[in-house]
Amino acid sequence: MIKRTLFFSNPAYLSTKNEQLVVNFPEEEKEDKTIPIEDLGFVVLENPQITLTNGLLMKLVQNKTAVITCDKQHLPCSFLQPLVGHTEQTVRYRHQLDASVPLRKQLWQQTVMAKINNQAMHLKRLGKYSLKLERWATEVKSGDTQNHEAVAAAHYFQNLFDLEGFSRNQKGVPPNNLLNYGYAILRAITARAIVSSGMLPSVGIFHHNKYNPFSLADDVMEPYRPYVDALVNDLVQSGCNLEELTTKIKVELLQIPAMDVAIDGKKSLLMNAVSRTTNSLYECFYGSSRKILYPDFQ
């Protein structure tokens, strides 16, 4: 089932009735709009003058709908997640926390290889074949001790956009602003899938910053980044003004959960593919598998 993404950029009053999300725009003389809560995957709240009832929040969380709020710069800054995301959550936490260092290093090796391969395939689709990326993907060792992930990323972004002197920097020139927004959405998608798979998003396989509550999400989302890059590159090629994150651009970027990806030889929505990835990761922690299932960029 395709889950919907709702984006609210205007003042609104959100409540619930009969298992529906009820939307009222106080500044507009229109009838209330209703959307079935079971159809919702993500709700993005951008305007600071949005009011929600506690009853609605409860139903959204129970439906495992990701509620994302934005800061003054209109960038996603928080993500509401349920306390209980899986019926076997406690035992799954234990398997995750007990994962050995060698296993974590092997899982990070697989993640980096998948990311670099997808970066190489993205450039190839753009007619920018990179033998370096293909070679580096095969040279990644357990734990990525030679930091191929960073080296490959620098090379990839130097060749991705037809923009002179572009480099990836969160505070850099456009389209870094578009990448920041897209990656924030991807991070929320990944965190939602991790919680639904009964794991802790704060305990990573590689990232481990005590101030980062989404370390595992930052790990798992790495091979999915090229899909965001592809969407941003399409916006760059369209010739639109990149200086400001307009509502139109945000609407385009909010298509990320519903993007088509290929995983395990089949087409899938990105948000569903991420859930397959997190489920396969748990199987690695549990010991029934040694391989994370990641998408193949096509």
Each residue of 218-272: pLDDT tens digit? 999 999 999 999 999 999 999 999 999 999 999 999 999 999 999 999 999 999 9
Q: Which residues pair with 45 in a beta bridge?
A: 8, 69
Binding region for Mn(2+): 149, 207, 222
Give percent above pLDDT 90 in the chain. 82
CATH number for region 89-296 = 1.20.120.920
- Give the whole-angstrom CA distance, residue 75 versus residue 88: 33
Query: How many CA atoms within 13 Å lie on the side-chain side of 25?
Result: 11
What confidence tier does 72 reach under pLDDT thresholds 50, 70, 90?
confident
Residue spans in the chain of domains classed CATH 3.100.10.20 = 4-80
CATH of region 4-80, choose from 3.40.630.30, 3.20.20.140, 3.100.10.20, 3.40.50.80: 3.100.10.20
Under DSSP, is residue 259 helix (H, G, I), strand (E, B) or coil?
Answer: coil
pLDDT digits (tens, 9 = 90+) for 183-209: 999 999 999 999 999 999 999 999 988
What confidence tier does 1 reach under pLDDT thresholds 50, 70, 90?
low
Amino acid type, 58: M
* Residue 44 · residue 76 · CB < 8 Å: yes
User: What are the C-alpha distances in Å from 42 to residues 5, 36, 48, 52, 214?
Assistant: 5, 13, 18, 15, 18
2-6, 60-64, 275-279 — most confident range: 275-279
Name the CA radius of gyration of the chain, rounded: 20
| Mean pLDDT confidence for 104-115 | 98
Mean pLDDT estimate for the chain: 94
Binding region: 149, 207, 222
Residue spans in the chain of domains classed CATH 1.20.120.920 = 89-296
Give percent above pLDDT 70 in the chain. 100
> Can you list the positions of beta strands (E) in 194-298?
260-263, 266-269, 295-296
- What does the pLDDT read at residue 27? 79
Q: How many helices (H) and strands (E) does the chain have?
A: 10, 11
